[in-house]
Homo-oligomer: A and B are copies of this chain.
Amino acid sequence: MRETDIRIGILTVSDRASRGEYEDVSGPAIIKWLRERLTSEWKAEYSVIPDERSRIEDELIRMADDEKCCLVITSGGTGPALRDVTPDATEAVCGKMLPGFGERMRMVSFQYVPTAVLSRQAAGIRRETLIINLPGNPKAISECLEAIFPAVPDCIDLIGGARLECDESLIRIFRHN
């Protein structure tokens, strides 16, 4: 795979943003965070969809299977409310779940707000794609990414995805090979 073929899906899940009631800031915040740290060339597959489980599942499958994204990062829909279904959609399309991601992100967020226990953020693997749920709150997004991204390139290596290189002055990556 040529480096320029690296694709990363950024999926904002929000009823109001998808209806245009406000502008999505989470998705662009994730893209900016990645642009600053990834030295490999990559293309973003970005979309904004409502909090509907079947829509989320379809979009995750499209990004993973059709667009061949090695990584899909969602934001939003991770709370306890009735329409928060992103983790459920994620689990439905993944063959394996990685409980350590959710545990670690809740632990980090808990340092800022006790309501971090309410987050159902999950991560899992669909074939050669790692899917990670982030919360919708833009401030929490960078806290969570800082906490878990050092393990992401190694995970993508292990599932046979593209090799992601990072600016080591900004983030220290750990990998086995």
Chain A residues touching B, range: 35 or more
A136-176 CB contact bits vs B (8 Å, 1 = yes)? 00000000000010110011001110000000000000111
Q: Which of A102, A104, A117 has the most CB of B within 10 A?
A: A117
Q: A158 and B118: CB pair below 8 A?
A: yes
**A175 to B148 CA separation, bound complex (whole angstroms):** 26
Residue of B nearest to A114 (CB): B150
Interface of A is mostly: helix
A134 to chain B, nearest CB (A): 14
Is A100 part of the contact surface with B, judged by Cβ < 8 Å? yes
- Given the complex of chains A and B, what is the CA–CA distance between A83 and B105 in angstroms? 26
Query: Nearest residue in B to A124 (C-beta to C-beta)?
Result: B80
Tell me, in angstroms, the Cα distance from A155 to B103 when the chains sit together: 19
For window 54-110 of chain A, which residues contact chain B by CB distance below 8 Å? 79-82, 88, 96-104, 106-107, 110
Those 9 A-B pairs whose CB atoms lie nearest each other, nearest first: A100-B117, A114-B150, A115-B151, A81-B158, A100-B106, A117-B151, A114-B151, A104-B117, A115-B174
> A residues engaging B (CB < 8 A)?
79-82, 88, 96-104, 106-107, 110, 113-120, 125, 130, 148, 150-151, 154-155, 158-160, 174-176
Subset of 22 A-B contacts with CB under 8 Å? A79-B158, A80-B96, A80-B155, A80-B159, A82-B159, A82-B160, A98-B118, A98-B120, A99-B99, A99-B102, A99-B103, A99-B120, A100-B106, A100-B119, A103-B103, A114-B148, A114-B174, A115-B154, A115-B155, A115-B175, A117-B151, A118-B158
